[in-house]
A and B are shown apart, each in its own frame.
Chain A
Amino acid sequence: MTRDNRLAWINGLLLPLFNVLTAFMVTAVVFILIDVDPIVATKILIYGALGYEEGIGYTLYYATNFIFTGLAVAVAFHAGLFNIGGEGQAYVGGLGTALVALYINPAISAWLVIPLGILGGLTFGALWAIIPGYLQAYRGSHIVITTIMFNFLASALMVYLLVHVLREVGQMSPQSKDFPDAAWIPFVHDIFASMGYKIADSPLNLSILIALIFSVLVWFFLWHTRWGFAIRATGKSPDAAIYSGINPKMIIIVTMCISGALAGLVGINELMGVQHRLLLDFNYGYGFGGIAVALMGRNHPVGIIIAALLFGILYQGGMDLAFEMQNVSRHIVVVMQGFVILFCGGLEYLYKPLLTRFLAPIEASE
């Protein structure tokens, strides 16, 4: 094995693995501190997420959201941008999807309505991200601060629209009227039923296929197109990118546009897939969860799908865990997210000195 190979192996696999394991171990310590046996808790969690049909359905349904926001954060990371605004972009993207679903002629076929709804989510999510992108590229404002501010702006905008504009007449709670049938993305259990197989009802719907398709598209875009190369080059070395003729301002805007569009797809799964109406806080936590997913998945679509699955398991298993054990609430997942971001993100170099020292003698013997 050459030195470069081994370094890649350490950086790409061993370090992230150590980091994730550390995050889990620290979470286990939290379990012990609140008087819960971490092994028993893990068993309940895994059974809750994967032990029965309904649980698996929920796990995959949560994972779908995490794939969208994880991809969103990852694309931005590749250009060296930190998009904290996934939360807001998912929210406003959902507005785009809902507007299509609510105002389109309900007689139009679902084959047209659903793609238009996806387009609505992509467009609105992208628009909400392009403004911070533009401000970073041409006005020098820091993308992190602007996207945080835009999360709050999105939240206020949605509350205003749902309370004053889109609320169903005669309805007390702030939510829109139901989407027409043509705007419902089919549930997986309905599809199975139509083929003669009976599986348990769950919110899992065909959005998961859309998520997988977009994972492939992101992979192709980043590693097999000119724009993808330009984005990665800018992220690796902005100066070198400029010398090779890449316009960094354009890269920022294009990257944010794609990142926001991907986050904007959360509404497809949540609104067209499950809720079938626009409501408050359907995006809650997925934008920030996407940061953990992208960091854990090393910003690669395959890694992101795996990390999203893991977070889907944690979300669904966490619900069951909270139900079974009175000392735990589902917020243990939030704690775990925090540790994953801390150890895979902030402390990503924690073990580097240790591993380098450990491997030095082997290297010297060659």
Chain B
Amino acid sequence: MAAIKVTNLSKYWYQTKAVDGISFQVNKGEVFGFLGPNGAGKTTTIKILVGLTKPTNGDARVAGYDVIDDIRLVKQRIGVVPERSNLYDELTVTQNLRFVSKLYHVSAHGREEIIQELLDLFQLTEYKEKKFAKLSKGLKRRVVLAAALVHGPEILFLDEPTSGLDIMSARRLREIISDLSKHGVTIFLTTHYIEEADLLCDRIALLVKGKIIKIDTPEGLKKSLHNTPILKVRFQGEFDNAFLDSIQGETVSLLDGELSILSKDIHASLESLLRVAEEQNISLQNIETIKPTLEDAFLQLTGVSLDSMQVEKEGKL
């Protein structure tokens, strides 16, 4: 039995299609990533699957139960880490975990033991009497994750779990997520950090404008570019971006002053680049070819511009 099964799921907000007839299945114990830019429908899909909103059309089953008819049974079997760390500022870490355990009807008999185990697991014991408001962002995320696990869920929904965290905190959280997966917890992860999806996910669904463009393993997505090398070029000095249109290639994009050219005919692209650079008197600093990354695959498959992803990252970080 699949941990999550979604069939022709749609959600309209008035006339806008937030989710547009998507279908997918998540296997038990799998880390499944939902990757896409803001507004792609990631959070709306999660909201439907966890019972926060109802779909306009289609079916969704989580842990074998229908998300409309059996939502209570679904909620008992899932843990959710929302994008915002939404525990209670005025309560301590322990009080927050105790409160959530009561909401999920964890037996009073073993409650304190479970809380202590989670505090140990997430290295939160020294902060257990600290108010949630006083914790750093990284610690808050750990507490929120601990709270999502207090009732031992089969499936964990993580909505942008490392958003806004520093590198070390994000890395620690990824290690925890990876460990949870090894212990058999099914993980449904939404992120717009492509590297994160590459590191954590067994399979990834690429979502753009409410539609799933492709579902595959990270390696499978990279292979979809037929192992075409990517040409990376750095320039010296300023130049007019308009010259990019003159370069031959399937995908030509500029990010942080670095030009990426994905092309089936890399030689023709290189020739056109050198010709245009010479015509417009643009100095090249460095040229190299690299193997395609998941980011390249994402850009090629979705058509989303690197710039828009970068704006999104900057906005979040």
Do A and B come together as binding partners? no
Residues of chain A whose beta carbon lies under 8 Å from any beta carbon of chain B: none
